[in-house]
């Protein structure tokens, strides 16, 4: 009887190990961006220092992943402004096509002129990416807009 229990435990541990390795391999190779950006547009144009502009994203969301946005603005004088980090709440009902708007405050001391908005997105889609801080990273294209004088 003891031999049978040992065999069953051996089979169980072997199956468990194979399944665990398959899950781990899936997580390691999970590098495909979960969101496809169709369009980014800024409204209204132009905007003044200290005002908020609305950035609208048209995306197709393929998976639900924790999302962090690192936003940057380059003002009319070419000065880079790192804007506050944005954590996006995503629910399973958000899959598919989506339009999302984000309010961005133009720094008070930003220079007037042609400016650029862009962001870097970090997606955490599985426990391995969270554990080792190894997200899927994508960057938006530059979006031009104008900062008007007050």
* pLDDT at residue 5 tops 90: no
CB 4 within 8 A of CB 93: no
d(CA 55, CA 77): 21
Please write the tens of the pLDDT for every residue from 55-85. 999 999 999 999 999 999 999 999 999 999 9
Residues 45 and 2 in one domain: no
Domain shared by 79 and 5, yes or no: no
Same domain, 25 and 38: no
Question: What's the CA gap between 137 and 125, in Å, rounded?
Answer: 11
pTM of the shown model: 0.85
Do the Cβ atoms of 121 and 138 come closer than 8 Å?
yes
Domain that residue 25 falls in:
1-30
pLDDT, residue 6, reads 83
DSSP3 helix / strand / coil % (the chain, rounded to 5): 25, 45, 35
Q: Check which CATH number belongs to the domain holding 93 and give it.
A: 2.60.40.770
Find, among 55, 58, 140, the residue nearest to 102 by Cα: 55
């Amino acid at each position: 009887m003891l031999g049978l229990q040992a065999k069953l435990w051996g089979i169980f541990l072997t199956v468990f190990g194979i399944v665990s390795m398959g899950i781990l391999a899936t997580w390691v190779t999970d590098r495909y961006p979960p969101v496809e950006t169709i369009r980014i547009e800024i409204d209204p144009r132009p905007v003044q220092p200290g005002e908020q502009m609305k950035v609208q994203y048209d995306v197709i969301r393929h998976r639900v992943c924790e999302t962090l946005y690192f936003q940057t603005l380059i003002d009319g004088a070419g000065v880079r402004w790192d804007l506050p980090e944005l954590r996006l709440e995503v629910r399973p009902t958000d899959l598919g096509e989506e339009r999302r708007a984000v309010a961005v405050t133009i720094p008070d001391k930003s220079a007037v002129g042609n400016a650029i908005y862009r962001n870097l997105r970090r997606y955490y889609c599985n426990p391995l990416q969270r554990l080792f801080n190894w997200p899927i990273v994508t960057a938006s294209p530059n979006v031009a807009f104008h900062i008007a004088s007050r």
